[in-house]
């Protein structure tokens, strides 16, 4: 059964159905979107539970069909312990985003078509095992994101959308150049029947700088796209604009899963295919990680717009991912992947809650809000849970993810000076606690304001999707082995390549 193809193309089929049924009502559009995203989520949940956790480093549910035989490229899909949790996260956020978008009234059919196509493109990135296929899916998400921001966004939506496109295309150009250069240099070294576009064949080839002197150049070309997408300072400036001007559901998808494409690509391609280059340049990227953590947290302190505050906090939290990746130990890499999974849930909930606050008060200014706990008690509790998870409160997914990143980084024996770097990075937790608690106090506590007496609390539908987020955050926080047992199986073969 081609489970992965079904998961990828179910949202595409839903988008086609919405587009072809000319008399479809807005309600019918929403129902079709719910059906197709929920089936994709349920199938990915099934695959998550039947995944063979006793097998280390093997790709499961593989599909392989010759596609461009002249260069050995195939339609090649598969998941391992690294990609399976991210596939589950993507389908979950795709499903939830439909409910977050329930009140969209402008061009409803087109909106949900683009939202479904966005989910399909992201799923393709996490399941592709062929470099050309990976690149095509990487590009597929570009157009839906541009349309969703530029049409249904707010503020400087056209500016933010085109800025996102320019940054992404620049990174994609370097990635494609890296892939082609890798193919031309590596293909003559491959065994008969192997292809330099096949990620599994490349990993088994054991490429190093002795046989391909240009390997560092290829490494940085490919890494460029991931540095922009994660994003890493100084390539982060597209993110706050895109977040601030995007509609709520798009912010959920952007922060929840789109950024994770960068971290995933670093591990799947840069660290796995070029372990010796990753080891050589690890100190550089750890320093960039510290800049991300501390600079992102410091700038977050200065924000008064709720959406911008959470956007800059994502810059800081993605610094933890970068630190875990380039500490290069098994525990730090496991923590980095768990941080991606956790951040998807936590920040997805945060953006959903900001959307609810704005919808009910028509205000996102921290300094003019206040006392909302009395008018919207359920939203206050849910927002507080998301905020406390973001600052790493024990019992939430944020705590265990950051704990593994810092513990794994501190104990890594592959990077000189890593203990000092880790200690400096841990200061970000203190700053995070400061801006999260300050934001919660300003927005929800203090004397209630009469002008917000009309603001209602969360509806039954809004409680449904926000409770789903909270359930995921608490499940991973209280029983992290639910995800980490799987992640470790995907990380083990990578750490063997690194010699750790």
Helix crossing, 481-498 with 330-361: angle to 10°? 130
Beta bridge mates, 68: 73
Residues forming beta bridges with residue 305, ordered by sequence position: 365
Task: Please report which residue ranges of 141-254 form alpha helices under DSSP H.
Answer: 142-152, 157-186, 199-205, 215-229, 238-245, 248-253
The whole-angstrom distance between residue 309's C-alpha and the CA centroid of its chain comes to 18
Per-residue pLDDT of the chain (500 residues; tens, 9 = 90+): 899 999 999 999 999 999 999 889 999 999 999 999 999 999 999 999 999 988 777 899 999 999 998 888 999 999 999 999 999 999 999 999 999 999 998 999 999 999 999 999 999 999 999 999 999 999 999 999 999 999 999 889 999 999 999 999 999 999 999 999 999 999 988 888 889 999 999 988 888 887 888 999 999 999 999 999 999 998 989 998 998 889 999 999 999 999 999 999 999 999 999 999 999 999 999 999 999 999 999 999 989 999 999 999 999 999 999 999 999 999 999 999 999 999 999 999 999 999 999 999 989 999 999 889 999 999 999 999 999 999 999 999 999 999 999 999 999 988 889 999 999 999 999 999 999 999 999 999 888 888 888 888 889 999 999 999 999 999 999 999 999 999 999 999 988 887 65
Q: Which residues pair with 79 in a beta bridge?
A: 60
CA-CA distance, 53 to 60, in Å (whole number)? 10
Report how far residue 234's alpha carbon sits from residue 192's, in angstroms, rounded to the nearest whole number: 42
* Packing angle, helices 306-327 and 275-301, rounded to 10: 150
Phi, psi of 264 (to 5 degrees): -60, -45
Q: How far apart are CA 403 and CA 399, in angstroms?
A: 6
Angstrom distance (rounded) from CA 337 to CA 334: 5
Residues facing residue 65 across a β-bridge? 75
Question: Could you state, in order of their start, the residue ranges of all structural domains in the chain?
Answer: 281-500
Determine how many CB atoms are found less than 10 A away from the CB of residue 206.
12
Under DSSP, the state recorded for 450 is: G
Q: Under DSSP, is residue 391 helix (H, G, I), strand (E, B) or coil?
A: coil
The CB-side HSE value for 113 (13 A sphere, CA atoms) comes to 16
Q: Are 134 and 270 in contact (CB under 8 A)?
A: no
| CA–CA dist 403, 424 (Å, integer) | 14
Distance CA 343, CA 264 (A): 13
Output the CA torsion 391→395→397→403 (10° steps): 70
Q: Are 289 and 425 in contact (CB under 8 A)?
A: yes
User: Which among 65, 84, 54 has a CA at the least distance from the CA of 2?
Assistant: 65
CA-wise closest residue to 198 among 217, 178, 179: 179
> How confident is the model at residue 500, as a pLDDT?
59
Residue 386 CB coordination number (10 Å): 28
Distance CA 323, CA 335 (A): 10
- d(CA 235, CA 232) in angstroms, rounded, equals 6
Are the CB atoms for 451 and 317 separated by under 8 Å?
A: no
CA–CA distance, 102 with 26 (Å, rounded to integer): 10
* Inter-residue contact 370 to 447 (CB < 8 Å): yes
Which residues on adjacent β-strands are paired with residue 64? Answer: 76
Residue 72, C-beta contacts closer than 8 angstroms, at least 6 positions apart: 187, 194, 195, 196, 197, 198
Say how far apart CA 294 and CA 262 lie, in whole Å: 20
pLDDT score of 475: 96
Cα dihedral 346/409/414/328 (nearest 10): -10
Dump the DSSP string for 8-27: HHHHHHHHHHHHH-TT--HH
């Amino acid at each position: 059964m081609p489970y992965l193809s079904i998961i990828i193309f179910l949202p595409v089929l839903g988008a086609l159905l919405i587009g072809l049924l000319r008399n479809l009502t807005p309600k019918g559009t929403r129902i079709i979107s719910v059906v197709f995203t929920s089936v994709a989520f349920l199938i990915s949940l099934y695959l998550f539970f039947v995944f063979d956790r006793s097998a280390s480093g093997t790709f499961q549910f593989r599909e392989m069909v010759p596609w461009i035989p002249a260069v050995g490229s195939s339609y090649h899909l598969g998941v391992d312990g690294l990609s399976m949790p991210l596939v589950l996260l993507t389908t979950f956020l795709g499903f939830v985003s439909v409910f977050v978008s329930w009140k969209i009234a402008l061009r409803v059919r087109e909106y949900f078509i683009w939202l479904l196509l966005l989910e399909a493109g992201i799923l393709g990135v996490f399941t592709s095992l062929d470099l050309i296929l990976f690149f095509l899916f990487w590009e597929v998400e570009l157009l839906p994101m541009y349309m969703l921001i530029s049409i249904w966004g707010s503020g400087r939506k056209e500016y933010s959308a085109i800025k996102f496109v320019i940054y992404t295309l620049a990174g994609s150009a370097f990635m494609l150049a890296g892939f082609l250069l890798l193919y031309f240099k590596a293909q003559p070294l491959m065994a008969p029947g192997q292809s330099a576009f096949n990620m599994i064949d490349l990993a088994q080839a054991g490429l190093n700088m002795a046989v391909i002197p240009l390997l560092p150049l290829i490494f940085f070309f490919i890494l460029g796209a991931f540095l922009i997408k994660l994003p890493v300072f100084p390539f982060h400036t597209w993110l706050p604009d895109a977040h601030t001007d995007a509609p709520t559901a798009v912010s959920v998808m952007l922060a929840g899963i789109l950024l994770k494409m960068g971290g995933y690509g670093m591990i799947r391609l840069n660290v796995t295919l070029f372990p010796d280059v990753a080891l050589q340049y690890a100190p550089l990227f750890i320093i960039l990680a510290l800049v991300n953590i501390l600079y992102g947290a410091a700038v977050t302190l200065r924000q008064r717009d709720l959406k911008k505050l959470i956007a800059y906090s994502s810059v800081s939290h993605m610094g933890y991912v970068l630190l875990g990746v380039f500490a290069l130990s098994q525990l730090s890499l496991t923590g980095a992947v768990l941080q991606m999974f956790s951040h998807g849930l936590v920040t997805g909930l945060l953006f959903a809650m900001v959307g609810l606050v704005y919808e009910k008060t028509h205000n996102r200014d921290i300094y003019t809000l206040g006392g909302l706990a009395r008018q919207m008690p359920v939203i206050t509790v849910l927002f507080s849970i998301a905020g406390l998870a973001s600052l790493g409160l024990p019992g939430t997914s944020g705590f265990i993810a950051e704990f593994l990143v810092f513990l794994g980084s501190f104990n890594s024996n592959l990077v000189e000076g890593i203990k000092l770097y880790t200690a400096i990075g841990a200061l970000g937790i203190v700053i995070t606690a400061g801006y999260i608690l300050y934001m919660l106090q300003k927005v929800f506590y203090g004397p209630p304001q009469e002008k917000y007496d009309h603001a209602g609390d969360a509806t039954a539908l809004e409680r449904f999707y926000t409770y789903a987020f909270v359930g995921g955050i608490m499940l991973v926080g209280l029983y992290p082995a639910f995800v980490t047992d799987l992640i470790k199986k995907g990380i083990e073969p990578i750490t063997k390549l690194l010699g750790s």
